[in-house]
Amino acid sequence: MLIGEYIELSKRHGFPGQTYLWSRPHPIRILKTKDDRITVAWRFETENRELNDLFHDYYGMLPGTWKSIVFEKLYQFYKNYRGRRLADHEIEELHRLKEEYPWDVPPTWVKRKLRELFGREL
Protein backbone atom coordinates (compact mmCIF):
# COMPACT_ATOMS: atom_id res chain seq x y z
CA MET A 1 0.00 0.00 0.00
CA LEU A 2 2.87 2.38 0.77
CA ILE A 3 4.39 1.83 -2.66
CA GLY A 4 0.95 2.58 -4.17
CA GLU A 5 0.84 5.88 -2.28
CA TYR A 6 4.39 6.63 -3.38
CA ILE A 7 3.45 6.09 -7.02
CA GLU A 8 0.28 8.19 -6.66
CA LEU A 9 2.18 11.08 -5.07
CA SER A 10 4.72 10.88 -7.85
CA LYS A 11 1.95 11.06 -10.47
CA ARG A 12 0.16 13.97 -8.76
CA HIS A 13 3.22 16.05 -7.97
CA GLY A 14 5.78 14.98 -10.55
CA PHE A 15 7.33 17.39 -12.98
CA PRO A 16 7.24 16.73 -16.73
CA GLY A 17 9.69 13.98 -17.57
CA GLN A 18 10.33 13.29 -13.88
CA THR A 19 8.13 10.62 -12.33
CA TYR A 20 9.83 10.07 -8.97
CA LEU A 21 10.99 13.02 -6.89
CA TRP A 22 12.49 11.00 -4.06
CA SER A 23 14.22 7.74 -3.34
CA ARG A 24 12.07 4.66 -3.04
CA PRO A 25 10.70 4.13 0.47
CA HIS A 26 12.55 1.51 2.48
CA PRO A 27 11.92 -0.02 5.92
CA ILE A 28 14.15 1.22 8.72
CA ARG A 29 12.60 -0.77 11.56
CA ILE A 30 10.43 -3.87 11.75
CA LEU A 31 8.78 -4.77 15.06
CA LYS A 32 6.72 -7.74 16.13
CA THR A 33 4.15 -6.89 18.82
CA LYS A 34 3.10 -9.09 21.73
CA ASP A 35 -0.05 -10.06 19.85
CA ASP A 36 2.01 -11.17 16.80
CA ARG A 37 1.30 -8.12 14.65
CA ILE A 38 4.03 -6.60 12.51
CA THR A 39 4.76 -2.86 12.52
CA VAL A 40 7.10 -1.35 9.95
CA ALA A 41 8.64 2.13 10.07
CA TRP A 42 9.40 3.42 6.57
CA ARG A 43 11.70 6.16 5.32
CA PHE A 44 12.17 8.01 2.09
CA GLU A 45 14.54 10.88 1.45
CA THR A 46 14.48 13.89 -0.83
CA GLU A 47 16.51 17.01 -1.43
CA ASN A 48 13.75 18.57 -3.52
CA ARG A 49 12.70 21.90 -1.92
CA GLU A 50 9.27 21.90 -3.57
CA LEU A 51 8.54 18.41 -2.27
CA ASN A 52 9.62 19.32 1.27
CA ASP A 53 7.36 22.37 1.17
CA LEU A 54 4.53 20.29 -0.34
CA PHE A 55 4.68 17.78 2.50
CA HIS A 56 4.67 20.55 5.07
CA ASP A 57 2.06 22.84 3.51
CA TYR A 58 -0.28 20.37 1.80
CA TYR A 59 -0.02 17.07 3.69
CA GLY A 60 1.60 17.75 7.07
CA MET A 61 1.03 15.56 10.09
CA LEU A 62 -2.03 14.84 12.19
CA PRO A 63 -2.41 18.01 14.32
CA GLY A 64 -1.80 17.68 18.05
CA THR A 65 0.37 14.58 17.75
CA TRP A 66 3.98 14.31 18.84
CA LYS A 67 5.03 13.72 15.23
CA SER A 68 3.40 17.00 14.16
CA ILE A 69 5.27 18.90 16.88
CA VAL A 70 8.61 17.37 15.87
CA PHE A 71 7.92 17.81 12.16
CA GLU A 72 7.10 21.49 12.66
CA LYS A 73 10.26 22.15 14.72
CA LEU A 74 12.52 20.41 12.20
CA TYR A 75 10.79 22.02 9.23
CA GLN A 76 11.28 25.49 10.71
CA PHE A 77 14.98 24.74 11.21
CA TYR A 78 15.13 23.49 7.62
CA LYS A 79 13.40 26.64 6.29
CA ASN A 80 15.76 28.91 8.24
CA TYR A 81 18.94 27.26 6.96
CA ARG A 82 18.13 25.46 3.71
CA GLY A 83 20.28 25.99 0.67
CA ARG A 84 23.52 26.63 2.48
CA ARG A 85 26.21 24.91 4.48
CA LEU A 86 25.62 24.94 8.24
CA ALA A 87 28.06 26.61 10.61
CA ASP A 88 29.30 24.62 13.62
CA HIS A 89 26.95 26.40 16.04
CA GLU A 90 23.99 25.68 13.71
CA ILE A 91 24.89 21.99 13.62
CA GLU A 92 24.96 22.02 17.42
CA GLU A 93 21.55 23.73 17.39
CA LEU A 94 20.19 20.95 15.16
CA HIS A 95 21.57 18.27 17.50
CA ARG A 96 19.97 20.01 20.50
CA LEU A 97 16.69 20.24 18.62
CA LYS A 98 16.76 16.52 17.75
CA GLU A 99 17.57 15.71 21.36
CA GLU A 100 14.76 17.88 22.71
CA TYR A 101 12.28 16.62 20.10
CA PRO A 102 13.19 13.00 19.26
CA TRP A 103 11.13 11.34 16.53
CA ASP A 104 10.09 8.54 18.90
CA VAL A 105 7.36 9.66 21.27
CA PRO A 106 8.71 10.17 24.81
CA PRO A 107 6.75 8.41 27.60
CA THR A 108 6.48 11.68 29.54
CA TRP A 109 4.62 13.28 26.62
CA VAL A 110 2.26 10.29 26.39
CA LYS A 111 1.47 10.53 30.11
CA ARG A 112 0.86 14.28 29.87
CA LYS A 113 -1.40 13.80 26.83
CA LEU A 114 -3.39 11.05 28.58
CA ARG A 115 -3.95 13.32 31.59
CA GLU A 116 -4.96 16.14 29.24
CA LEU A 117 -7.40 14.01 27.25
CA PHE A 118 -8.78 11.67 29.91
CA GLY A 119 -7.99 13.39 33.20
CA ARG A 120 -5.77 10.49 34.24
CA GLU A 121 -3.21 8.00 33.07
CA LEU A 122 -4.47 4.68 31.74
Alpha helices in 14-65 (DSSP H): 49-54
Note the residue count of the chain: 122
Helix (H) / strand (E) element for 27: namely: strand 26-32
Q: What is the pTM of this model?
A: 0.73
For residues 89 and 121, what is the distance between their CA atoms, to the nearest angstrom? 39
Mean pLDDT of 38-45: 81
Q: 52-88 pLDDT, tens per residue? A: 888 898 888 888 899 999 999 999 999 999 989 999 9
Contact 68, 60 (CB under 8 A): yes
Q: Are 44 and 3 in contact (CB under 8 A)?
A: no
